[in-house]
Structure 1
């Protein structure tokens, strides 16, 4: 018992432990270490932080858990946003408090080792060398938190509430419903059918449209790169022209061209073969039109990308292949394609991710229509355009947020695993 008592007393008497215990009240540990200016500064910062933010954080955390208790007097959305901001402010406060503990303990350890405390000038010099970069990025970090992180947190939170057109504040208060919105997407009839239909088309649209634009861009780049082709600069300029025209202008023009009544495709071209295709009223043909339009809009970028990469393929590799009797197909398969994919794989993956969320072409072409019986999404809606309709047309904010989370997870997982499989990712940092 005496041994335990003595060891406990020794632990408490150590300067590092005394300083840590005193730092429960910010600044006292620094006073113990004779760092009076730092102690006063931390004490003033702590008191100022508590005075200015205590009421805001108190109401914010309360509102985050309850989302209000009195309809019309309490606004659930305002309380939710205040609660999320309170979490960030509280995080800054906790960071300052932890710094106070760590700083006091570090100075006490130096005191145990009989190292003198740095002077004010030395402390300022150390701050400039070690902390100045963090101090300079602080404004950007704050902007990032309140412009990017808070909206993302708000969207995530909405996915677990019952916020829709029939239950909207301030007339009604919101409630936390857990995973009910995700369960409805998997089980409830209209949500389940619509989600499966839209998700399937989104995957098909992403894979087919992106693959077509990549294949077409690669094919044209290989043709233009052929030594027998003349006027290469002129041909490249012409093929890149669709990229120079703003995409929304091209989409609106194509929407008029594919109009089944007065569009030039039906009236001037297909009418010669006594054929009229319902491009805008039939979901299948509308999807075909969208894939063709995206192929047209997307291939110039891929063409320009591949054209530049093909210029860097070492010619001696082709000469060696000719000596070995390699065919054109073998040279393409074993030299050209690996070289091109190694250099462009990350950008090609971004093409797939971009088309997965390509809202512009879907909405500008025919607003995701035509309507489909038994679904609350159009026949050509992809997930992002469906989310737009749920948000701005039917006010199903909770379901829109739930679908957005699913979209984010899908894209993140796809991009992560695809990047890890690319040769350029594996080679990064090796040299």
Structure 2
């Protein structure tokens, strides 16, 4: 072992100072000094993460005294991440001292140190952002799934939160009301994501082919008309559609005027689901139309000319030329659109609010997706423990599926459109 490496093992920065990298050595030493000074704070944070508090809410001399379990969990989690970061820096400090000693190069100027450290300085804000804005919330959600953090008996600061292990997972899969809700919402979420994605996709393809056909005049005008639903803020369109399909809405008025009965569009489960699919088609088809218009114009015309010479029908050209080439270029977008629709909270919330009510479900209605069910459990019912469990399930379903299908698309593997 190099002497500088041994010194860095004993105390961060000593190896760098031995190698005459004074600025870098001082920086490493300051990191370890700060870590050592905060050992009591780390110990307290780890205690809070382990126990989630022991002092229940009470008053002492008119002053409220309590342990806030969730704050203790967050502090403990932050302490763990900081400790991991310090350990990474410690390992880097040892390797840096060893590598520098082996090179035998002595750079002591501030400019040289700055040049060497510049990539790490630039990457540090991004690394910290990932740790505390992405990794921290994910780990916190996972931890909450193993607690009883919920109203009314385990809601801080009045009450303490306890670790319960896998009890929430057992309840979700074994208790009938939770299990029925999970199965029902998961089934509808998958059906919804599939129908919402492919109706918009093929609706956009149909519009693009219709506008691109030689028989259609004023193509720019028709494109502008069909793109209007996408240009209008989506929430406005959703709220207007909700009013149109409501009981006293204009749709039922039109049905009455032509001699038909009123329809319970939003209060009957099947009708409500059909309405959601139609509204999503209205909102999503223009996007795919605009996308596929450019793709269709880039398809070599000699392919169609050769097909015409061979006497191919319209359907034959569509299924053997148009659809394969369009599908090839848009497969990654289909996958991402499916993932988006799987978690399309806004449309469900704005149009049906998850309704109509389903008495067999726990905190969910007939049209609730998993994501809107999570919203109701957190914001409306404060059942954070079960919401975290369902959130984990969504991640375990969506993340591997997207990674699997996305990496196996031809457009992902190949560089050229036509080989």
3-state SS of 1:369 partner: coil
SS in 2 for 1:209: helix
TM-score normalised per structure 1 = 0.89
The equivalent residue for 2:5 is: 20
Which segment is superposed worse, 301-310 or 171-180? 171-180
1:34 and 1:132 map into 2 onto residues whose CA distance is 19
User: Residue by residue, what CA displacement relative to the aligned partner does 1:28-55 show, whole Å, maximum 9, x if unpaired?
Assistant: 333554555544443233213432x333
Task: Show CA shifts across 1:197-238 (max 9, x none).
Answer: 111111111111221111111111111111121110001110
The equivalent of 1:389 in structure 2 is: 376
Task: Point out the more displaced range, 406-415 or 385-394.
Answer: 406-415
TM-score using structure 2 length: 0.91
Give the aligned partner of residue 63 of structure 2. none
- Identify the residue that residue 103 of structure 1 maps to in structure 2: 96
1:56 equivalent in alignment to 2:41? yes
Paired position in structure 2 for 1:194 = 181
In structure 2, distance between residues paired with 1:208 and 1:299: 12
CA distance in 1 between counterparts of 2:368 and 2:390 reads: 13
CA distance in 1, matches of 2:318, 2:204: 15
Cα separation, partners in 2 of 1:85 and 1:428, compared to 1, 3 Å: farther
Tell me whether 1:120 sits opposite 2:113 in the alignment. Answer: no
- Map of 1:3-152 to 2, 5 A cutoff? 16=2, 18-24=3-9, 25-33=11-19, 35=21, 38-51=24-37, 53-72=38-57, 73-110=66-103, 115=104, 117-121=105-109, 124-125=111-112, 127-128=114-115, 130-152=116-138
What corresponds to 1:349 in structure 2?
335
Give the Cα–Cα distance (whole angstroms) in 2 for the partners of residues 40 and 209 of structure 1: 58
**Gaps in structure 1 of 5+ consecutive residues:** 1-14
CA distance in 2, matches of 1:239, 1:276: 29
1:223 to 197, 210, 221: 210
* Larger-gyration structure (1/2): 1
Structure 1 residues 49 and 142, CA gap change in structure 2 (3 angstroms):
same
The superposition leaves residues 290-331 of structure 1 with CA deviations (integer Å, 9 ceiling, x where unpaired) of 111111111110111111110111112212222333222222
- RMSD in angstroms over aligned alpha carbons? 2.1
Query: 1:366 Cα deviation (Å)?
Result: 2.1
Q: Does 1:155 align with 2:148?
A: no
Gaps of 5+ in 2: 58-65
Give the whole-Å Cα distance in 2 for the aligned partners of 1:75 and 1:315.
68
Structure 1 residue runs of 4+, over 6 Å off? none
Deviation at 1:144, TM superposition (A): 3.5
2:403 aligns to what? 416
